[in-house]
């Protein structure tokens, strides 16, 4: 290949915006990153600013282009992914406040915000047919409960809003002026029935959002297109100036960030149906593709063409994964000393703990012995799948009076095992409904250490494969841009051409497998018992 054409992928996570420049061989030539602001108001409200995020995106793109040493003219396609956060804009794109504080710049309800738990419970009690396509129960992390909260608590803002965007769709609108929404965002988070290419007006009337249906859904999306579709006339003049790129550069319909990680990984081996995408970041997301719809209680979906075009998607995951590990280790008496040591070594605390754990054992699988007698159900922020239970909470069993670093390492290993058993539980319920997988393709910042990957393989009983690229989420977003630029006939071909396997982690057998089987049963017991205890 010539290498003269380049594609940019932009990934907006919870804490930062990142951009990566890729060539036609799928090689990452340069990246850029800019942190974004986050505002917390109490235990359940989390907000952000779309203006702040756009500024961070522009800085990240300019940094990536400079780091890659390319010219803006060689960029022929741009793709965005983002968290499934809700952006609320007034006429002309002005920011509207989404919280009682009335701060207009804070116009985003972040994906992890749980202010709409009551609204989600009321929606679930009504049992509408569309809930079959979200695993039977809608989550407060999805958009219709949040919209209902806004209507009931800030009715003047709800009435004044010109558009309600998923964050990825906001970014494509900000780039191109197109109001088109992605099937990925609206099917997964807004109850759009992509397999029938329609919204269900009855659902919106039943739950109290009939105004959106009465106006023919103009504020949440009348044009719905598949990821990889080129939007508008490409970058507008204003967006091109902001990004340091060329006006008219093709821009693809976007995706949710975890799903972009899936696009960048599940094409490995050419058979997406064999592969579960596991995006392990602040939260985790499991992505399973099937040829026919599979209805799995407690697992979101099935969604048609929400990730791989033409395939159905089931989406599970854990509301807190990397964040759960951070929370867990912060509770230990040795946390401060360990944090200081990690800073001195120039690494993160989880990496330090993983390195210390591996150094004591003959191999990574044997590290589970350090957690003997320690058991963790790391559901600090509820259970997303398979119980769809936002009220679930964490459990830690087996703690003693130890205050030393070795005990912190043991607690860390027990926490990783708990993440792995949650993954195993999701795989098991999907297999029962005919959505089994052969292997797990891992991505995300919290899943990069060899120990983490091996424990996940051992705890889940499935082979874990790391992608060859160190930036699978950015690659997934860039593949969207490449498809919009017609570098590939479609997104599926782009995935298969540029997604390649790296290191493979096989699950241990023998005594190690037996230990994990027993620990998994202990995990399930703690999880079930805690549900019976939380009301008294």
More confident residue, 536 or 10: 10
CA nearest neighbour of 288 among 490, 494, 427, 82? 427
What confidence score (pLDDT) does residue 221 get? 98
Q: Based on the domain organization, do 248 and 135 belong to the same domain? A: yes
The mean per-residue pLDDT over the stretch 18-42 comes to: 96
pLDDT more than 90, % of the chain: 94
pLDDT at 142 over 60: yes
Does the pLDDT of residue 386 top 50, yes or no? yes
Show the tokens assigned to 106: 């804070």
Average pLDDT over every residue of 435-443: 96
Q: Is the pLDDT of residue 48 over 60?
A: yes
Let me know whether 377 and 249 are in one domain: no
Q: Do 201 and 330 have their domain in common?
A: no
Of 255, 281, 301, the position where a domain reaches its end is 255
148-194: per-residue pLDDT in tens? 999 999 999 999 999 999 999 999 999 999 999 999 999 999 999 99
Residue 82 lies in a domain: yes
Examine the fold and report which residue of 204, 226, 255 is the final residue of a domain before the chain moves on: 255
Question: Is residue 306 situated within a structural domain?
Answer: no
Q: Is the pLDDT of residue 3 over 80?
A: no
Structure tokens at 196: 């029938």
Pairing of strands 224-225, 181-182: parallel
CATH number, position 225: 3.30.420.40
Q: How many independent structural domains does the chain possess?
A: 2
- Does residue 271 belong to any structural domain of this protein? no
Q: What pLDDT is stored for residue 164 in this prediction?
A: 98
Residue 358 belongs to a domain with what CATH number? 1.20.58.2240
**Tokens (6 digits) for 169:** 């769709």
In this structure, the answer to whether residues 338 and 202 fall within a common structural domain is no
Query: Do 248 and 347 lie in a common domain?
Result: no
- List phi, psi (to 5°) of 494: -60, -45
Identify whether 475 is part of a domain: no
107 and 244 share a domain? yes
Residue at 233 is within a domain: yes
Name the average pLDDT for the chain.
96
Tens-digit pLDDT profile for residues 501-529 = 999 999 999 999 999 999 999 999 999 99
Average pLDDT on 381-391 reads 92
Query: Is the same domain home to 379 and 233?
Result: no
* DSSP of 87-105: EEE-GGG-B---STT--TT
Q: Which residues share a beta bridge with 463?
A: 439
Whether residue 236 is found in the same domain as residue 327: no
By DSSP bridging, strand 439-443 and strand 375-377 are unpaired
> Burial, 129: exposed, middle or buried (Cβ in 10 Å; 0-12, 13-18, 19+)?
exposed
* Residues 307-336 pLDDT 10s: 998 999 999 999 899 999 999 999 999 999
Tell me how far apart the alpha carbons of residues 240 and 245 are, in angstroms, rounded to a whole number.
5
Cα(381)–Cα(323) distance, rounded to whole angstroms?
A: 9
Q: What is the DSSP letter of 367?
A: G
What is the model's pLDDT at position 1? 34
In this structure, are 165 and 46 located in the same domain? yes
Residue 275: its pLDDT value, please? 95
Q: Which residue has the tokens 């049992």?
A: 127
Q: What is the pLDDT of residues 336-378, one digit of tens each?
A: 999 999 999 999 999 999 999 999 999 999 999 999 999 999 9
d(CA 459, CA 517): 8
Does 273 reside within a domain? no
The burial of 76, by beta-carbon neighbours within 10 Å (0-12 exposed, 13-18 middle, 19 or more buried), is given as: buried
Domain end, chosen from 212, 231, 255, is at 255
Phi, psi of 44 (to 5 degrees): -120, -10
- What pTM value is reported for the model? 0.90
Mean pLDDT of 440-465: 96
51-104 pLDDT, tens per residue?
A: 999 999 999 999 999 999 999 999 999 999 999 999 999 999 999 999 999 999
pLDDT classification of 2: cutoffs 50, 70, 90: very low
Indicate the SS3 state at residue 81. strand
Q: Are the C-beta atoms of 458 and 519 separated by less than 8 Å?
A: no
- Does residue 472 sit within a domain? no
Q: Tell me, what's the pLDDT at 445?
A: 86
Let me know: does 83 contact 257? Beta carbons within 8 Å: yes
362 Cβ neighbours under 8 A, 6+ residues apart: none
**Are 353 and 250 in the same domain?**
no
Residue 370 falls within a domain, yes or no?
Answer: yes
Same domain, 238 and 340: no
Residue with tokens 């329609």: 198
Closest by alpha carbon to 255, among 84, 81, 471?
Answer: 81
* Host domain of residue 144: 6-255
Residues 6+ apart with CB under 8 A from 160: 90, 96
Same domain for 108 and 240? yes
DSSP of 189-206, one letter per residue?
Answer: HS--BTTTTB--HHHHHH
- 528 burial level (CB within 10 Å; 0-12, 13-18, 19+): exposed
What is the DSSP secondary structure assignment for residue 17, as one 8-state letter? E
């Amino acid at each position: 290949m010539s290498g003269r054409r380049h594609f940019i992928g932009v990934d907006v996570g919870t804490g930062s915006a990142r951009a990566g420049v890729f060539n036609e061989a799928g090689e990452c030539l340069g990246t850029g990153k800019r942190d974004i602001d986050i505002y917390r108001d109490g235990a359940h409200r989390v907000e952000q600013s779309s203006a702040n995020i756009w500024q961070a995106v522009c800085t990240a793109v300019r940094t990536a282009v400079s780091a890659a040493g390319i010219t803006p003219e060689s960029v022929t396609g741009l793709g965005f992914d983002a968290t499934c956060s809700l952006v609320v804009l007034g006429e002309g794109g002005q920011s509207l406040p989404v919280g009682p504080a009335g701060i207009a710049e804070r116009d985003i309800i972040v994906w992890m915000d749980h202010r709409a738990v009551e609204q989600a419970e009321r929606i679930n009690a009504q049992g509408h047919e569309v809930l079959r396509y979200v695993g039977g129960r809608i989550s407060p992390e999805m958009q219709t409960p949040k919209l209902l909260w806004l209507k009931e608590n800030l009715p003047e803002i709800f009435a004044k809003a010109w558009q309600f965007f998923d964050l990825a769709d906001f970014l494509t609108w900000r780039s191109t002026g197109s109001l088109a929404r992605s099937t990925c965002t609206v099917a997964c988070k807004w109850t759009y029935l992509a397999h029938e290419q329609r919204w269900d007006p009855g659902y919106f009337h039943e739950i109290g959002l009939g105004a959106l249906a009465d106006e023919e859904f103009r504020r949440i999306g009348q044009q719905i297109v598949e990821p990889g579709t080129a939007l508008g006339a490409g970058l507008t003049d204003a967006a091109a100036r902001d990004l340091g790129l060329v006006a008219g550069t093709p821009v693809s319909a976007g995706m949710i960030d975890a799903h972009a990680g899936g696009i960048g990984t599940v094409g490995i081996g050419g058979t997406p149906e064999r592969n579960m995408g596991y995006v392990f970041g602040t939260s985790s997301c499991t992505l399973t593709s099937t040829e026919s719809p599979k209805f799995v209680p407690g697992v979101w979906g099935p969604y048609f063409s929400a990730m791989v075009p033409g395939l159905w998607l089931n989406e599970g995951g854990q509301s807190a994964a990397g964040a759960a590990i951070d929370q867990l280790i912060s509770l230990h008496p040795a946390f401060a000393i360990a944090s200081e040591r990690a800073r001195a070594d120039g690494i993160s605390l989880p990496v330090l703990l993983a390195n210390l754990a591996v150094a004591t054992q003959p191999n990574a699988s044997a590290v589970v012995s350090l957690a003997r007698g320690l058991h963790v159900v790391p559901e600090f922020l509820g259970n997303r799948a398979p119980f769809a239970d936002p009220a679930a909470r964490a459990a830690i069993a087996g703690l003693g009076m130890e205050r030393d670093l070795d005990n912190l390492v043991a607690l860390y290993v027990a926490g990783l095992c708990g993440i792995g058993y949650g993954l195993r539980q999701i795989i098991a319920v999907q297999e029962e409904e005919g959505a089994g997988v052969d292997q797990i393709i891992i991505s995300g910042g919290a899943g990069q250490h060899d120990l983490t990957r091996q424990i996940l393989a051992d705890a889940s009983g499935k082979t874990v494969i790391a992608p060859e690229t160190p930036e699978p989420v950015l690659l997934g977003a860039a593949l969207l841009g490449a498809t919009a630029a017609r570098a590939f006939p479609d997104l599926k071909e782009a995935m298969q051409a540029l997604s390649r396997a790296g290191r493979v982690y096989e699950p241990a057998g023998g005594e190690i497998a037996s230990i994990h089987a027993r620990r998994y049963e202990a995990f399930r017991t703690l999880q079930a018992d805690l549900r019976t205890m939380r009301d008294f």
